Amino acid sequence: EVQLVESGGGLVQPGRSMKLSCAASGFTFNNYDMAWVCQAPKKGLEWVATISYDGSSTYYRDSVKGRFTISRDNAKSTLYLQMDSLRSEDTATYYCARLDPFWFAYWGQGTLVTVSS
Amino acid sequence: DIRMTQSPASLSASLGETVNIECLASEDIYSDLAWYQQKPGKSPQLLIYNANSLQNGVPSRFSGSGSGTQYSLKINSLQSEDVATYFCQQYNNYPFTFGSGTKLEIK
């Protein structure tokens, strides 16, 4: 069974950093591109970033370019999202998702990031 | 960026009814479209990909259609467990973009 379990969310002050993790199991992690998708409270879904199966390619939405970094450790079957210079508008639940190969076939349960002083 | 305009924003229907949700892309996305269901308090789940392919395990009362810029999700014989918000998403081009969602309730 495919499982994606996010962790690392919480309350953080504006301008500070936070790193999210997503532990994957139930599939061969290094065969799949992975992504982060966020959802602000009571709002819609927004794609954040994608990383290729081997980590060689990354893609970001404009609003996080230069502030967020997606990475992966295939030996640990873990996806990461390093979030720097956080803003109040980054407040959201962050989901990791497996791409199959272009649609989000599996989602984690999400981790809430709240940016507030 | 490709803009996805989804309608209606909310929908109320009776059990057993058929409902349709529409998604209009701002440019041709060549059927690179997925539909997701998000139940209250849960993460989204994939229903349809490539505009009309049903994901494994999804009930056959769900179906997708469309091409070019216009797409739709149809739910036949509405069940109580279908109460959810539905989102379309294009993956023809980065940045991947989602529709704003359709909240489906039972009348």
Per-residue pLDDT of chain B (107 residues; tens, 9 = 90+): 999 999 999 999 999 999 999 999 999 999 999 999 999 999 999 999 999 999 999 999 999 999 999 999 999 999 999 999 999 999 999 999 999 999 999 99
pLDDT (0 to 100) of residue A16: 98
B32 has a chain A CB within 8 A of its CB: yes
A100 CB neighbours in chain B (<8 A) are 49
Q: Do A104 and B32 touch (CB under 8 A)?
A: no
DSSP A24-63: EESS-GGGS-EEEEEE-TTS-EEEEEEE-TTSS-EEE-GG
Contacts of residues B3-9 at CB distance under 8 Å and 24 or more positions apart, as own/partner, are: B3/B97, B4/B88, B4/B89, B4/B90, B4/B97, B4/B98, B4/B99, B4/B100, B5/B99, B5/B100, B6/B87, B6/B88, B6/B99, B6/B100, B6/B101, B6/B102, B7/B102, B8/B102, B9/B100, B9/B101, B9/B102, B9/B103
Q: Do A105 and B46 touch (CB under 8 A)?
A: yes
Q: Do A47 and B49 touch (CB under 8 A)?
A: no
pLDDT (0 to 100) of residue B57: 96
Distance from CA of A16 to the nearest CA of B (A): 26
- The 10s digit of each residue's pLDDT in A59-109 is 999 999 999 999 999 999 999 999 999 999 999 999 999 999 999 999 999
